Structure 1
Amino acid sequence: MQTDSLARTAFAPKQARWREQLSAAVRKPARLLEQLGLDPLGEPADSHFPTLVPQAFIARMQPGQRRDPLLLQVLPDRAESIAAAGYSDDPVGDRASAKGPGILHKYEGRALLVTTGACAVHCRYCFRQAFPYTSQRAGADRWRAALDYIADDPSIEEVILSGGDPLMLPTRRLRELTDALASIAHLRRIRIHTRMPVILPDRITNNLLDWVGSIPWPVVFVVHANHANEFDEHVDDAILRLRRRGAHVLNQAVLLAGINDSATALGALMRRGFEAGALPYYLHLLDPVSGAQRFETDAARLGNLMDSLRRELSGYLVPRLVREVAGEPYKLPVL
């Protein structure tokens, strides 16, 4: 295992580099395909949910492979414009759970802050791609009402920072938020849902790590990788640096047809994520967001899939297969 000093020397990112990488992200499907040596003719233009893919993620794709599992997660498809029964713009009931700008309260003991609508990558299966961020985002000028809601409910012991991706915010804004939360005596934990350590590992700067170390409760980072190919040495180092600051790191994934819906792909993901320092957490069934029906996995295959994982993996590597259903008091276990 690397020492912390070696990790800092080998991979420590420059404080502004991740923003430069985000500015250089690919924003046109044709350019993405051309960069991978693929014919862009006939590919759909962007829909309401524009293409956004940083070069750091593209670098892990296989040139010339149209079915590359990372490419399929971010490449628009004509099927997105086709309406499908059971699919909607609010598939998990976020809007009904809103208790004010930027705060969702679905589950007992936990509240979620929608800190930003921005992400470093636009995944085509994203369940919040049509979320009304303009009115439902806890920006700096709106945090007070959300904080008051949390302070007034002593049953809330855990706050989840989500979005969008909370690590898109400047670190000073994140620090301001957690400093304000620290005044609420009944809070016990903070959870941060982010794809940044996987998509733009250079976001895990020394400044951000100093912020993580300043948080007065146990900190849980829930990262999001769907395929083993999403991990490389830079992702490994980002996760290592978080863990060395005392953060617990979990990985949640979405079961996606044609991307990871096999025991081989899922087993490799769970093993590789654990090697990087991220313990398998949830494996979500697809949230039925409009336009994402091509990612739906045949329900008849789920039993055999989970049986295979339980046979092949140690128990701590087997993720919990769940479905989020609007109005339910918790994520529903499947099988």
Structure 2
Amino acid sequence: MIPAAPLPTQPRRWQQLWRDAVRDPRELLDLLDLQAHAPAMSPEAAAQFPLRVPRSFVARMRRGDPHDPLLRQVLPLDEELRPAPGFGLDAVGDGAAKAGHGVIRKYTGRALLVATGSCAINCRYCFRRHFPYADETAAAGGWGAALAAIRDDPSIEEVLLSGGDPLSLSTAKLVELTDALRGIPHVRRLRIHTRLPIVLPERVDAELEAWLAALPWPLVVVVHANHANEFDGEVDAAMRRLRAAGALLLNQAVLLKGVNDRVETLAALAERGLAAGVLPYYLHQLDRVAGAAHFEVDDATALALHAALVARQSGYLVPRLVREVAGDASKRALAHPDGRAVPTVA
């Protein structure tokens, strides 16, 4: 008897891949042949801020390399528990900028919705790692309070979806939000800040594409990659699907010690992003959130790196070097302490 041909393998939906994420630090080290480095891993840090990393992101890490730049972003270490003056729970003043349930107003003409507290990956340097998501999620109650805050302020022309990660919500939930936003005439632009297309590119599925393509506003999607190794063929394909849906793609990165604090690394990130259709946007100085001090790069080094990047890259491949300061009316461009001008791009 001729055996039946095997059925074609169906791609697993992104929700299943999310559920399959690595959550045990020891399993992560085992997958990377790094069992000998377990003593540096901190169960206490993991208890305070749990490990979560999709397996496809783990697959991009270098086996046997304890200094892998992707691993460093997610592995809980004892360094997180060391007290650090100047590092606190609300590094960027989100609490003071609250303008409604799940709504943050910092900058003129824009409102940020904390759409959800969920992320597909827990980055150890996350500036909202201590944010009270249970109390401040815009999606709660069918978006009612958040939408009312936007509707009542005609100065709001742009809505930013953030979190957590807004694309962790179901597409149906996102449709519910944008259908309601369509009825607010002063909303003219939509911006989505998301790490999912980088760490879980399967999230950019046909349903999400259809939702994005049907939106009535100019659409900007700001992704978040800190190292060129975060891109692979699957990520490239996700970026193509986002562009096909009409999105302008920008990347924001955080300057992180041991991850991307070399000019060659930053240049490679910009070049690799461009190859995927993503332009550099911001290079953030670290937000001084408790638990992340070991990632901090001092300002003098940051400025020197940025100057070196300006000297070697075309202007469109140089992100703006900025810091977010609570109470400021915009991101603050990093400046030399002696008042010298920051190099401009060409």
Interval containing the TM-score (normalised by the shorter chain)? over 0.9
- Give the alignment's Cα RMSD to 1 decimal: 1.1
| 2:255 is the alignment partner of 1:249 | no
- Structure 2 counterpart SS, 1:266: helix
Shift of 1:101: 1.4
- Which residue of 1 is the match for residue 145 of structure 2? 145
Match of 2:34 among 28, 35, 38: 38
Partner Cα separation in structure 1 for residue 38 and residue 288 of structure 2: 29
Identity of aligned residues (%): 55
Partner Cα separation in structure 1 for residue 62 and residue 263 of structure 2: 21
Shift of 1:47: 3.1
Partner Cα separation in structure 1 for residue 53 and residue 178 of structure 2: 29
- Which residue of 1 is the match for residue 317 of structure 2? 317
**Which sections of structure 1, spanning at least 5 residues, go unmatched?**
1-12
Shift of 1:79: 1.4
Partner Cα separation in structure 2 for residue 89 and residue 28 of structure 1: 25
**Which sections of structure 2, spanning at least 5 residues, go unmatched?**
1-9, 335-341
Deviations 1:66-105 (A, max 9, x none): 0000000000011111221100010000011111211101
Shift of 1:214: 1.2
Task: Kindly indicate whether structure 1 or structure 2 has the higher relative contact order, using CA contacts under 8 Å at least 6 residues apart.
Answer: 1
Deviations 1:39-72 (A, max 9, x none): 2531211131100011010010000000000000
Letter in 2 for 1:32: L
Shift of 1:146: 1.1
Partner Cα separation in structure 1 for residue 242 and residue 251 of structure 2: 13
- Structure 2 counterpart SS, 1:248: strand
Deviations 1:96-123 (A, max 9, x none): 1111211101110000001100000000
Deviations 1:163-210 (A, max 9, x none): 000000000000010010010001110000000110000000000000
Letter in 1 for 2:155: S
- Structure 1 counterpart SS, 2:124: coil
- Structure 2 counterpart SS, 1:222: strand
For the 8 Å contact 1:101–1:142, the answer to whether it is kept is no
Shift of 1:216: 0.6
Tell which structure's C-alpha radius of gyration is larger: 2
Give the TM-score, by structure 1 length.
0.94
For the 8 Å contact 1:257–1:295, the answer to whether it is kept is yes
For the 8 Å contact 2:226–2:253, the answer to whether it is kept is yes
| 2:45 is the alignment partner of 1:20 | no
Deviates more, 1:81-90 or 1:201-210: 81-90
Shift of 1:140: 4.3
Partner Cα separation in structure 2 for residue 76 and residue 102 of structure 1: 28
| 2:259 is the alignment partner of 1:263 | no
Shift of 1:297: 0.4
Residue pairs, 1:69-80, within 5 angstroms: 69-80=69-80
For the 8 Å contact 1:102–1:114, the answer to whether it is kept is yes
- Which residue of 1 is the match for residue 326 of structure 2? 326
Deviations 1:117-137 (A, max 9, x none): 000000000000110001111
- Which residue of 2 is the match for residue 211 of structure 1? 211
Residue pairs, 1:32-181, within 5 angstroms: 32-39=28-35, 40-42=37-39, 43-45=41-43, 46-141=46-141, 143-181=143-181
- Structure 1 counterpart SS, 2:304: helix
For the 8 Å contact 1:281–1:319, the answer to whether it is kept is yes
For the 8 Å contact 2:100–2:145, the answer to whether it is kept is yes
Partner Cα separation in structure 2 for residue 298 and residue 205 of structure 1: 40
For the 8 Å contact 2:29–2:38, the answer to whether it is kept is no
Partner Cα separation in structure 1 for residue 38 and residue 147 of structure 2: 49
Shift of 1:231: 0.2
Aligned residues: 322
